[in-house]
Structure 1
Amino acid sequence: MADPKASATLTTKPTTYEGNCHCGLIRYTVTLPDALAPEGTEKILRCNCSICTKNGYFLVYPKREDVHFLNASDTRMKSYLSATKRKPHRFCPKCGSSVLIDFKDAPEDEQRPLLAMNASLFKDIDLANAEFEPFDGKAELDPPYEL
């Protein structure tokens, strides 16, 4: 009989994705602990809060050191602060693509080493067949959106 730990180790391996904004000004690689489902175990978070909905975010959460921007792309992005004003949403200044949410100043210690990357900007990602994890940001996040 095969060792279940051995087979789990074979399917859980770091996977690197290339990503870019629509116009190509912002380019990067993201390494996740395992492939996005259905290839692996990583799921994409789908939040229903106002900014995630309006910007079309489909989020994965790599460690900051596992995201590598090419050609100083990270210095070219612009920022927008919403809700708590502590997690800047970073986007391309040319095409407006929403690239990430930076958690470096998050009030929760465990979030600070992470970036929330928009998986819809990854190359060769099939969102139609991806597995999503819902998050009720409308109810869970403060302050509520009003406009």
Structure 2
Amino acid sequence: MSSTADSELTAAIPLWPEGAELKHYTGGCHCRQFRYRLTHPVFEEGQFEVVVCNCSFCTAHGKMNIYALENKFELLSNNVEELKLYQFHARVVEHYFCPTCGVQFLTKALGYVVVNARTVDGVDLMKLKIKHVDLRNT
């Protein structure tokens, strides 16, 4: 990934408001073999933006991206080495899939994790505040 692409990607990441209320979220893949905990500003009632990117990968996987620093994410069951890893282009971004059900719920890049909001327990997707980002044309 070029430094231009890096800066375009990081520009897409919503900044956490100072003093934002943090909440522990849980989620995981469809078969529940992999479960996670994410600490993030409250977002499920539209308080914080979820990013919908139009790149080919996010579009193909219906991703609704929630960004956090890596230390705000914890895999609760199994470990990341048991997930299937997919990388393309410059191989900087790591996309992880459950080897059993195929759900892609975790991405790692540039010191961040990206969780698909569709994999967070109990979130009403209709109430999310969406930020559309054009990374297809960068």
2:39 to 13, 31, 39: 31
1:45 aligns with 2:43: no
Once the two structures are aligned, what percentage of the paired residues are identical?
Answer: 26
- The verdict on how the C-alpha distance between 1:91 and 1:80 changes in structure 2, with shifts beyond 3 A counting, is same
Distance 1:75 1:55 in 2: 21
Q: Which residue of 2 aligns with 1:134?
A: 132
Q: Which gives a bigger RCO, structure 1 or 2 (Cα 8 Å, sep 6+)? A: 2
- Kindly provide the amino acid, as one letter, of the partner of residue 78 in structure 1: K
Question: Which string of whole-angstrom CA distances, capped at 9 and with x for unpartnered residues, describes residues 8-61 of structure 1?
Answer: 95xx211111011000011011001x2005353x21000011110111111011
Unpaired runs of 5+ in structure 2?
1-17
What is the RMSD of the two structures over their aligned residues, measured on CA atoms? 1.6
TM-score by length of 2: 0.81
Q: How does 1:108-123 map to 2 (within 5 A)?
A: 112-123=110-121
- Kindly provide the amino acid, as one letter, of the partner of residue 77 in structure 2: N
How many residues were matched structurally? 121
Unpaired runs of 5+ in structure 1?
1-7, 104-111, 141-147
1:101 is displaced (CA, Å) by 1.4
1:139 is displaced (CA, Å) by 0.7
1:81 to 55, 80, 87: 87
Q: Which residue of 2 aligns with 1:62?
A: 68
1:20 to 6, 28, 41: 28
Distance 1:20 1:48 in 2: 23
- Kindly provide the amino acid, as one letter, of the partner of residue 30 in structure 2: H
Give the 3-state SS of the residue equivalent to 2:137 in structure 1. Answer: helix
TM-score by length of 1: 0.76
Distance 1:17 1:23 in 2: 18
- Kindly provide the amino acid, as one letter, of the partner of residue 91 in structure 1: F
Distance 1:48 1:39 in 2: 20
Distance 1:93 1:45 in 2: 25
Greater Cα shift, 17-26 or 83-92: 83-92
Larger gyration radius, structure 1 or structure 2: 1
